[in-house]
Amino acid sequence: MQINRLPALSDNYIFLLHDPELKIAAVVDPAEADPVLQRLTELEATLVAIFNTHHHSDHVGGNAKLLRRFPEAIVYGGAEDRGRIPGQKMFLQEGDRVSFGDREADVLFVPGHTSGHIAYYFPSAQAGESGDLFCGDTLFAGGCGRLFEGTPTQMVDSLSKLRLLPDNTRVWCAHEYTLKNLQFALTVDNQNSDLQGRFQDVTHLRQQLKSTVPSVLGVEKKTNPFLRWDQPALQLATKSQEPVQTFARLRGMKDRF
């Protein structure tokens, strides 16, 4: 399975999954249709599936136009998003599996950013290879999504679930927010040498207008404050040792950053 990263809107990423042998493709969170249609033409591939993580318009905005071009494509989304995702035909819950080509993904229910948010995790196809996590707006490189519909408790539970995945998992998050996320992270975890080094690397990448996505989950565990609520430095910054309260205070600080 080849993964094409397509920039969209101002800072979104669309991910096009391609099976060159079968000449089929699937798309994750098409913010708009035109970049997807252009790449499908270049690849001479047929779109067979749309994998939506949640209902926000910058994740489903391309669904309708893509379905007009590929009416047989199946739209997947969370069961809790029924009626909110254009063209949705499959209503997924925790523990379900979806397939694309010769790969299968586990469906993870990860509410917090929205009440119906899901993620798709494709385990590694062979020993030693990296798995792929398509997490929408739940986990970002260096950050996490705002809590628009969910609670801090839900988000901690969701991020805890993602934190259990293998360290070499590639994190395909849906926005290029990394530099600002790390700028905030340094305000609450400034003695973290891994974070300091990552900030320098990301600054260099963005100066060259290069993408910081995908990230790697092991790096996130060392540098992303929203996966580190149980670390003393973050507890000190938030004046709390209770996990949900620590996370909630971090999220509030980031919202005001």
Distance of CA 152 to the CA centre of its chain: 18
Distance of CA 103 to the CA centre of its chain: 19
The set of catalytic residues is 54, 56, 58-59, 113, 137, 175
Per-residue pLDDT, 126? 77
Per-residue pLDDT, 212? 97
Domain count, the chain: 1
Strands 139-140 vs 132-136: parallel, antiparallel or unpaired: unpaired
Low-confidence ranges of the chain (pLDDT < 70): none
Per-residue pLDDT, 248? 97
The CATH number covering residue 233 comes to 3.60.15.10
pLDDT per residue as tens digits for the range 31-44: 999 999 999 999 99
Residues of the domain holding 56: 2-255
pLDDT per residue as tens digits for the range 166-219: 999 999 999 999 999 999 999 999 999 999 999 999 999 999 999 999 999 999
